[in-house]
Structure 1
Amino acid sequence: MSCGFLDSDRILTKLSSVGSSQSQNHNLLSMKYPLYLTQDDRPLAGLRFAVKDTLSIHGLRTGFGSQAWLETSPAATLTAPAIQLLLDAGATLVGKLKTTEFVEGVDPSEWIHAPSSSSTGSAVAIAAYEWLDFTIGTDTRGSIRHPAGVNGVYGQRPSHGLVSLEGVLGATDLFNTVGIFARDVRVFSDVGSYLVNPRKFPQPTPEVRKYNLLYPTRASQTQTPYQIHGGQHRWFPHPSVDTAFWTEAEKQIEGMLLNLESKLNCERIAFNINELWRATPPIGQPRSLDEAVGHIYSAVTTASAIHGGLDKFISEFQTANDGAAPKMSELVSRRLDHARPLKPVQIAAALQAMQAFRSWTQTTLLVFPQSWGRRDYRDDVPDRSVLFNDTFSIYSFGYLVGCPDYTVPVAEVPYFSTVTEQTEFLPVSISLVGRPGTDLELFDLLRYLRQEGVIADVLAGSRLYADATSGQGCNLDRPD
């Protein structure tokens, strides 16, 4: 029996301010309850979802992670087309979700573990609440992929340009994308496929294709994932490194990859991307990959934020408040100050470097580690002097190349919590990356891997799998 509603906009108006650190009464409507209808043949009927508070919903104000922005913003007169597409397909919207201030990388402090990045509310909600089937987030530099990894759920960054950004606030449309989080592989595949190409829905039975599996490794002298660039370059272990130095998470990932190679009848191709770039840099580009592309994100996104509306917002707020500036975090203010002196020629150079990297990378299927099951307590204060991480990282592929990048939970590992003073578990995830436009093929692959028991659905709550034991990975025996 599918779920239907009498109200035409199909919004269940008992809205939930999941994970919000400030009042969200602007998004609460009169109480209504769903009616269960016997017939609704639309493809996403019966699925409940919530959206990041950067997407427009008709009749509601968008907070953009800022109380000052919220106070000066009128109610939206349209629903973002990406969300309207899902509503028209029968999905039911139940609320809006917390985001960070102007989608900058400010970790919230109201948590035991930092849930990561600007789509934090979307990731936490789908990880915690079984009555949500999927959530919507946005990803510019990793704001879907990393929250999905550290919260142990599936996350989709689609190929750039496949999903409409109309009615979506963000750092820059040049890099931004709209994607989903889900716990169930079939829901993840169905909703994600419909979002990127409703004309090819539903997908056929999964097929076994031939893949080139690229396996980026750390430098040979690097023994752990945390001994290079402060943990920013979290690649796989170099083949020469003794497995005795591997972390428990690396062992879990290795088991999954061996299974993946077996099911796909392929063998991974190990390479170090920094060494490969150094040997084959595009003409006119530095031999250091960090030097070549590390500055692109900070230059483009901060300049886009300034010229795309934040300076205008600040000026209008001051005019309306007797010269008082809107309250903003130190990080946001410093990043805006960084952007104001940038010249158009500097932005053009950054975009040219991005195109050079995009042309250099033409791969079929790339896999790399996403989350290592590493503790990240809220009182582990980050280095506040670092304004940007201007290095090449695992998140750079998505925004530089515009390719699909899906986060896939594969295991969980134990650790002793200094908060609960007992053994707890943290997720371990990988990312699967394909060429731009191969979004449906990646969903097809995930459904096949789920069918073959290589990956599994995850549960809501503190543990990923129903039959989980210490340090074990997927529950591969749960019935459909």
Structure 2
Amino acid sequence: MFSLRSASICVVALAVNAAARPTVFTQRSTLARSDGSPLSLTFSIANDSDASDAVPYYVPLDGISYSFSVSHSSLNDGDEFGLVTVIDPGNSASFSSIQSTVSAYSSEDDVFNEAFLSTVFLRSSSSSKLSSSLISSVASKFEVNNIFASSSVPSAKGVSSAVLSSQTTIPIGPYVYRIGGPSKSASFWPVYRLYPDPQEAFLYGVTAAADGGFVRSSGNVPSAGDYTTVPVPSRLYYKESSLPLAGLRVGVKDIYDIDGLKTGCGSRAHFALYPPRNATAPAVQRLIDQGAVIVGKTKTSQFANGETATADWVDQLCPFNPRGDGYQDPSSSSSGSGAAMGAYGWLDHAIGSDTGGSIRGPAGQQGLFGIRPSHGAITLEDVMPLSDVMDTGGYFARDASSFKTFGRSWYGSTFKSFPSFPKRLMVPNDTWPVSNAASEAIFSSFISKLQTFLGAESDATGISALWTATSGVNETVQVYMNQTYATLIGAYQYDNFGLPFITDYMAANGGRAPFIDPAPKARWAYATGRGEAAFEDEGNRRVVFQDWVAKEVFKASDASCSDGILVYPQSTGRTSYRNVYFSPPTAPLGFSYGRVGPFAGVPDLVVPLGQVAYNSTISGTTEYLPVTISMVARKGCDYMLLDLISELELHGIINSVGVGKTAFTI
């Protein structure tokens, strides 16, 4: 056990510390309670005596815990903390089964460390069948000092023991424990490994609170410098769960409310003004109910508006895109979620939102799977709004299988699968081919394989030509829809979010107005300047376009949901350096294939295909940037697209991506 008697940092070691045993190298307590008891623990475990490979851990003592009554104890008296591993030996406990279990723990979990084997809790009624020889073998092999069990423990030389009983079942895995007090009760706390965030993707890390809400993590790693650290729990805690997202670690864009946490929306003034939320957005709660683990809030551009990294991000530092030379723009809005997914293998998924490209842009820049779902896929109650008719909740993944599983779990019964895939592949001649020869070769190869896989006919008709021929509108789609997006998002967000926020802030700050970043300020001014009549007119235009798409672009199919799939380039490997200055932001006018999803409410899924080389002006060497494609179908056909993408991966037509400088192995 290790001692915790003051708030100072001290060097300590486990009671048994043979050369093979990792060492608890540093340990610190944070005193916060009136009685002087610690609120949290931070310690590191190192395999080397100089702690060069030390892994930091964090234990919030006011968070989730498990309590046990203690009997038949041969432990020495004390009120100190110790490390323990909970193991279920099964109905027929044997040394080989326990050895296999420990081996699996080490290979499956990035939190577990052999140092937690200084004490073992055999969590099972089968402990009554334990033998002295088994206890001795386990103690000798794993250098165990103490063994706890659910019923009597046979005595073994050099091993202390105790019987722990409780009405609740504690999950398997590593914990910190303490036994003490007149009643000799035992408390177990889950441990979190602390990961630094050098990409500046997270606003802060979080842990689950005892009351069902969340608290901001106070854990930090001195060796991580000034970087935020993100606490992640052991994957073993969820191994016995049957929930579809059990144990998956998820980052949440900081526009979703979470009980106990502040929602900043990329604004220092907004973060400071409002207290922590007292309810969790239903979209996030659904993930939690499906077994997902929320590990932190990820950064967003201010109020989820489009911003470039160099000058538009004023209130926060824009996250760093890990791809290439590390100084490419990560794209905007869901930037933190995208950068985190491109950088950190310990993060399984991250959610964001997409109104005009806030999932698709970061997915393209970081080379990830990303989805802007059909409008209405999931409720966005208690989520900061941009446009009620275009906002959607999306997410990122690094492989097609988990992309599909996460989507089906999150969106639930909103959509359904179909027996076949569309037989018409739309490859519009007004967007293909792309000018970059290297990326065009990647696109061309994929489109050819996709067409063969589908057994589909190719349709080269562009949206512009089809609109002119069939819409009945005497304007080109570029002219007709030119101001629609800018007007709808700017006016709606200002009226329903911006103005109430400004009013609240001024009332609380003696009439002083809050700072607003250049991008949302320009967008709000443009849209409100056009007036209510223009807002209504642009809303009608969006409906006209939506109805036209449902009638002429993607027709319904009983066999495949949508009769066709549209593909367009999402990212081509073009550089977008974050140290290049641009002109001041203006209203987001115009029409492009990226606007089809927002205007028509249809799903638009990003798929990473490959990467192309470029000569970096930052590193002075050859680097690589992702090439991604968007796949679009009829509204409500989201699962058809997820099923298709999963099948494409199974057939080797597309591949999963990795983390770090390159999405694919060079």
User: TM-score w.r.t. structure 2 length?
Assistant: 0.62
Quote the offset at 1:19 in angstroms. 4.8
Measure the CA separation in 1 of the matches of 2:279 and 2:580. Answer: 41
Q: Which amino acid aligns with 2:515?
A: K
521, 528, 531: which is aligned to 1:343?
Answer: 531
Measure the CA separation in 2 of the matches of 1:63 and 1:278. Answer: 44
Q: Please name the residue that 1:117 is paired with.
A: 332
Quote the offset at 1:21 in angstroms. 8.1
Q: Please name the residue that 2:575 is paired with.
A: 375
Q: If each structure's strand is expressed as a fraction of its own residues, which one has the higher value?
A: 2
**Aligned 8 A contact 1:108 1:114 in 2:** yes
Q: Are residues 1:214 and 2:415 paired?
A: no
Q: Which amino acid aligns with 1:393?
A: S
Quote the offset at 1:329 in angstroms. 1.9
1:145 and 1:11, CA in 2 relative to 1: closer, same or farther beyond 3 A? farther
307, 311, 318: which is aligned to 2:499?
Answer: 311
RMSD, matched Cα: 2.7
Measure the CA separation in 2 of the matches of 1:25 and 1:279. Answer: 53
469, 472, 477: which is aligned to 1:279?
Answer: 469
Quote the offset at 1:127 in angstroms. 0.6
Per-residue CA deviations over 1:134-158 (Å, capped at 9, x if unaligned) read: 1001000000011101110000111
Per-residue CA deviations over 1:439-480 (Å, capped at 9, x if unaligned) read: 1111110111111111111001111223x3xxxxxxxxxxxx
Q: Are residues 1:322 and 2:521 paired?
A: no
**Aligned 8 A contact 1:171 1:304 in 2:** yes
Q: Which amino acid aligns with 1:164?
A: T
Does the residue aligned with 1:403 lie in a helix, a strand or coil?
coil
Matches within 5 A, 1:160-175: 160-175=375-390
Q: Please name the residue that 1:421 is paired with.
A: 620
**Aligned 8 A contact 1:459 1:465 in 2:** yes
277, 298, 309: which is aligned to 1:97?
Answer: 298
Does the residue aligned with 2:457 lie in a helix, a strand or coil?
coil
Measure the CA separation in 2 of the matches of 1:360 and 1:21. Answer: 39
25, 29, 54: which is aligned to 2:255?
Answer: 54
Does the residue aligned with 1:431 lie in a helix, a strand or coil?
strand
**Aligned 8 A contact 1:12 1:93 in 2:** no
Does the residue aligned with 1:268 lie in a helix, a strand or coil?
strand
Gaps of 5+ in 2: 1-104, 110-170, 176-186, 207-214, 220-230, 311-317, 321-326, 555-563
Aligned pair count?
437
253, 256, 259: which is aligned to 2:446?
Answer: 256
Matches within 5 A, 1:219-258: 235-237=431-433, 247-258=437-448
Higher RCO (C-alpha 8 Å, min separation 6): 1
Q: Are residues 1:106 and 2:307 paired?
A: yes
1:247 and 1:11, CA in 2 relative to 1: closer, same or farther beyond 3 A? farther
1:462 and 1:399, CA in 2 relative to 1: closer, same or farther beyond 3 A? same
328, 331, 350: which is aligned to 1:135?
Answer: 350
1:403 and 1:12, CA in 2 relative to 1: closer, same or farther beyond 3 A? farther
Measure the CA separation in 2 of the matches of 1:17 and 1:66. Answer: 20
368, 383, 387: which is aligned to 1:153?
Answer: 368
Gaps of 5+ in 1: 219-234, 239-244, 469-480
Measure the CA separation in 2 of the matches of 1:289 and 1:200. Answer: 29
Q: Which amino acid aligns with 1:190?
A: T
1:130 and 1:198, CA in 2 relative to 1: closer, same or farther beyond 3 A? farther
Quote the offset at 1:368 in angstroms. 0.9
Quote the offset at 1:294 in angstroms. 1.8
Per-residue CA deviations over 1:226-255 (Å, capped at 9, x if unaligned) read: xxxxxxxxx2129xxxxxx65211111001
Quote the offset at 1:119 in angstroms. 0.4
**Aligned 8 A contact 1:161 1:177 in 2:** yes
Does the residue aligned with 1:409 lie in a helix, a strand or coil?
strand
Q: Please name the residue that 1:222 is paired with.
A: none
Q: Please name the residue that 2:276 is paired with.
A: 75
Measure the CA separation in 2 of the matches of 1:260 and 1:404. Answer: 18
Q: Please name the residue that 1:294 is paired with.
A: 482
- Of the structure 1 ranges 12-21 and 78-87, higher mean CA displacement relative to structure 2 is found in 12-21
User: TM-score w.r.t. structure 1 length?
Assistant: 0.85
Q: Please name the residue that 2:60 is paired with.
A: none
1:22 and 1:120, CA in 2 relative to 1: closer, same or farther beyond 3 A? closer
Measure the CA separation in 1 of the matches of 2:196 and 2:379. Answer: 25
652, 656, 662: which is aligned to 1:453?
Answer: 652
Measure the CA separation in 2 of the matches of 1:152 and 1:207. Answer: 29
